[in-house]
Amino acid sequence: MRIHPTALVEDGARLGSDCVIHAHAIITRHVVLGEGVVVHPFAVIGGDPQDLGFQPATESGVVIGDRTVLREHVTVNRATQAGGATRIGADCYLMATAHVAHDGQVGDRVILANQVLLAGHVHVGERAFMGGGAAVHQFCRIGESAMIGGLTRLTRDVPPYCMTTERDELIGLNAIGLRRRGFAPPVIAEVRRAFHAVCRALGNPRALAAAAVASGDYQHPETLRFLDFFASGKRGFVRPRAGTEDSAA
């Protein structure tokens, strides 16, 4: 483990083996870091939530998974409820000035590019990628292997394997990303069929997804995870702009 002399690690913080804490980083007593976590200069991990009703005496925390990298000026706020934790998964990469607000849940192998802003209670699925400057409203969900374009503004949920841009605009299926992840061609074909049945069809996506599951036409676990995403959540779903097709890149 390496901790720079100018870093501040408060008494009570728990750091796994092989962590590296660079100059002027702040790790509060509310933080648990997994093995091999790297925190770059001026990051603040475990600060109080930006919630006007929060009571600082509340015992809550932040948990960072193994081998995650937090670059310069990243901020991750602790949870608002006693016993709760804001969580970042393993093998994530949060680029400079990214912000994860209170009660956020970020899955494994997620990349947040520079200046990504996640409001409170946002959930990001594993292997999602968010482009620079993207901003997400509180309580939104971003599904696994989703790709969010730079400067995107999200106020609705993004289903797994999908790509979005601008404001809540669904622009296609992240087919290339699924191939890079190792999804077999028959799986991608079935996911694409489900995507068109739910996201391209007219009607309520929740009802369309439920009907697709009930039909028994979809068998692969990856497709069923996609369809199951529509059964929960507090917000609506991103919708396509006219004339868009699946990703070719």
- Per-residue confidence of the chain (249 residues) as pLDDT tens digits? 999 999 999 999 999 999 999 999 999 999 999 999 999 999 999 999 999 999 999 999 999 999 999 999 999 999 999 999 999 999 999 999 999 999 999 999 999 999 999 999 999 999 999 999 999 999 999 999 999 999 999 999 999 999 999 999 999 999 999 999 999 999 999 999 999 999 999 999 999 999 999 999 999 999 999 999 999 999 999 999 766 555 543
Examine the residue annotation and report whether 103 is marked as an active-site residue of this protein.
yes
- 150 and 187 assigned to the same domain: no
| 246 is a domain residue | no
pLDDT at 249: 38
User: What is the sign, positive or negative, of the torsion defined by CA atoms of 74, 80, 82, 84?
Assistant: negative
The pLDDT of residue 170: 98
pTM over 0.85: yes
| Whether residues 232 and 190 fall in one domain | yes
Query: Catalytic residue at 120?
Result: yes
Helices (H), 56-204: 175-181, 185-195
Tell whether 41 and 129 lie within a shared domain. Answer: yes
* Marked catalytic residue, from 22, 40, 89, 103: 103
Distance in angstroms (rounded) separating the CA atoms of residues 195 and 220: 14
Of 175, 205, 226, the residue at which a domain comes to its end is 175
CA–CA separation, 124 vs 182, rounded Å? 20
Q: What is the pLDDT, as a whole number, of residue 246?
A: 59
Residue 24: the pLDDT is 98
| 171 and 181 fall within a common domain | no
Provide the 10 A C-beta neighbour count for residue 8. Answer: 14
Cα–Cα distance measured from residue 82 to residue 61, given in angstroms and rounded to the nearest whole number = 9
Q: What is the pLDDT of residue 241?
A: 77
The secondary element (H helix, E strand) that includes residue 212 is helix 205-215
Position 248 scores a pLDDT of: 43
Q: What is d(CA 225, CA 246) in angstroms, rounded to the nearest whole number?
A: 19
Range of the domain at 182: 176-240
Which of 46, 104, 120, 143 is catalytic? The answer is 120
Query: Distance between CA 46 and CA 77 in Å, rounded?
Result: 5
CATH code of residue 37? 2.160.10.10
Give me the torsion for CA of 29, 31, 36, 40, rounded to 10°.
Answer: -80
Question: Regarding beta strands 169-173 and 162-165, do their DSSP bridges make them parallel or antiparallel, or are they unpaired?
Answer: antiparallel
- Within this chain, do residues 121 and 43 fall inside the same structural domain, yes or no? yes
One domain for residues 61 and 126: yes
Instruction: Exactly one of 22, 102, 121, 123 is catalytic; name it.
Output: 102
User: DSSP character for 74?
Assistant: -
Query: Do residues 46 and 158 both lie within one domain?
Result: yes
d(CA 90, CA 149): 23
Same-domain check for residues 139 and 186: no
Tokens of 16: 């796994």
Structure tokens at 237: 């779903």
The last residue of one of the domains, among 175, 197, 225, is 175
- Domain boundary at 149, 175, 201, which? 175
Of 25, 36, 116, nearest in space to 68 by CA: 36
Residue type, 187: V
Q: Exposed, middle or buried by CB within 10 Å (0-12, 13-18, 19+), for 150?
A: middle
246 catalytic, yes or no? no
